[in-house]
Amino acid sequence: MRRIIMASACAVIVAGLVLSAQQGPTLQTALAASGANGLRSVVFTATGRAFVLGQPATAADPWPMRDIKSYQVSLDYGTGSMRVEQVLTMPTPAPRGGGGAFTGEQRQVQLVRGAYAWAETTGQGGAVQTNAQPANAADRLMWMWMASPQGLLKAAGTSASRPVADGAELAYTVGGRLSLRVHINKMNQVDRAQALLPNDVFGDMLVETTYAGYKDFGGIQFPTRITQRQGGHPTLDLTVTGVKTNEFVDITVPDNVRNAPAPAAPTATSQNVADGIFWITGGSHHSLAVDMGDHVVVLEGPQNEGRSELVIAETKKVLANKPIRFVVNTHLHFDHSGGLRTFVDEGATVVTHAANQPFYEKAWSAPRTLAPDRLSKSGKKAAFQGVTDRAVLQGTNKRAIELHVLTGNPHNEQVLVAWLPAERILFQSDMMNPPAQGAAVPPPTPTVTNFYDNLARLKIDPEHIVGGHGARVGTRADLMAVTGKGK
């Protein structure tokens, strides 16, 4: 009789397992399998690679890479807060592309709690200083939940899972603004998650994180490999080295962050460089408006729609009653191309390296439901004029703007400079900034050396060097100083 009872019990267990397998994974089975039930916090360490979004060497290249020497994430699920401390190093040789080259190690500490985002820096004597970073809150909130499979499952709350062919899927919104789609495989493991973030170039930009190589860490199942892609290229690749659970994690919003004043409203002001030529500044990124007789050419549409609207308004102020017919894009990097769509809506043709046109056409075709801009509302079609080596924009006032490609430039191999030969004015972005008066001049970088060599090849001898960055208009003496040729 006992054998019969035991056999019956085994049959019931086997039948239950078969039924569970037939039903497939659910939120509840994934929570149990991952060890997320009763989990209050996770601290994990990793090494790996980070990539700089929107700063490629060419339109066909991935985002440039930095090595991650150490990476520690502290997650408090109850308060929806996160602290990330990472130490980055530059690979050798340094990768092509932008993002800010550096030497030695670069330590970053980034935090978020709810709607507040900030950074920590260590000053002299070891004092910790905190700086509000409200513009980074959306990205950090997304990573706070996507950094761990357990976070994604706990954030789902009571959301119902939907069976799919290879497992189950969860779709829900966190904080009323972050939509997540989470896939659970047939082993009850979260293997990927997707979110959308607004991006000035990509529109509703897909962010996809994948999780692999699960193993037991102190009673929870945690992936040993976490990778993320944004805009079709990798942005993060982590190899997890350790996981601790239910550690005490105290992430309190500092008073200076909680009470930080709203950022000052951006402005645009103009400086007359020559007759009918105005350097439009007022922020970190600058443009140049050039009178071409019956129309205007604007060199650079940077950052975002807000910046470009200010540049357009200032251009109309100093060069009234003339349409902006062309906007010249020096290179693809997103901080120099994020405002181009606003100029398209204004009626301008985008002049850029020919290799960038298919990139922009594809990127700009994406939906923009998260942050609709002027162009998405008007539905106007973008017009392009491609440059492969050299092009000339000619005005009815006989003014000429020569556009030249700087061959082999490590910052961007398809970067353009604009040369106004009659005025001996050169416009460039990211090649050089004139040093402040009395400041030490750093050693020349490969970018500025290539810039100088290209100018020599092109026989361009500028008197004024106007920048997409910088505090003042540069001179030939500044060029000789930053390239080390003036010694």
| Domain limits for position 59 | 25-258
**448 and 367 together in one domain:** yes
pLDDT for the residue numbered 6: 40
Region 96-102 average pLDDT? 93
Region 269-290 average pLDDT? 97
Band (486; pLDDT cuts 50, 70, 90): confident
Band (245; pLDDT cuts 50, 70, 90): very high
Decide which of 199, 225, 258 is a domain's last residue. Answer: 258
Band (487; pLDDT cuts 50, 70, 90): low
Quick: pLDDT tens for 152-171: 999 999 999 999 999 999 99
Look up the pTM and report it: 0.92
Least confident of 63-67, 243-247, 392-396, 432-436: 432-436
Q: Are the CB atoms for 245 and 103 separated by under 8 Å?
A: no
pLDDT for the residue numbered 126: 84
**247 and 273 together in one domain:** no
**249 and 287 together in one domain:** no
pLDDT at 32 exceeding the cut of 90: yes
Question: Cα separation of 6 and 277, whole Å?
Answer: 92
The gap between the terminal CA atoms of the chain, to the nearest Å, is 101
**427 and 385 together in one domain:** yes
- 263 part of a folded domain: no
Could you tell me how far CA 217 lies from the centroid of its own chain?
A: 32
184 contact partners, CB below 8 Å, separation of at least 6: 25, 26, 27, 30, 161, 167, 168, 169, 170, 190, 191
- 14 part of a folded domain: no
Region 221-244 average pLDDT? 98
**422 and 328 together in one domain:** yes
**103 and 219 together in one domain:** yes
- 231 part of a folded domain: yes
**278 and 178 together in one domain:** no
Question: To the nearest 10°, the Cα dihedral for 404, 410, 412, 414?
Answer: 40
**179 and 198 together in one domain:** yes
- 342 part of a folded domain: yes
Decide which of 207, 237, 258 is a domain's last residue. Answer: 258
Decide which of 232, 258, 284 is a domain's last residue. Answer: 258
Least confident of 184-188, 434-438, 449-453: 434-438
Quick: pLDDT tens for 100-156: 889 999 999 999 999 999 999 988 888 899 999 999 999 999 999 999 999 999 999
Quick: pLDDT tens for 49-58: 999 999 999 9
Band (226; pLDDT cuts 50, 70, 90): very high
- 278 part of a folded domain: yes
**314 and 446 together in one domain:** yes
The count of domains in the chain is: 2
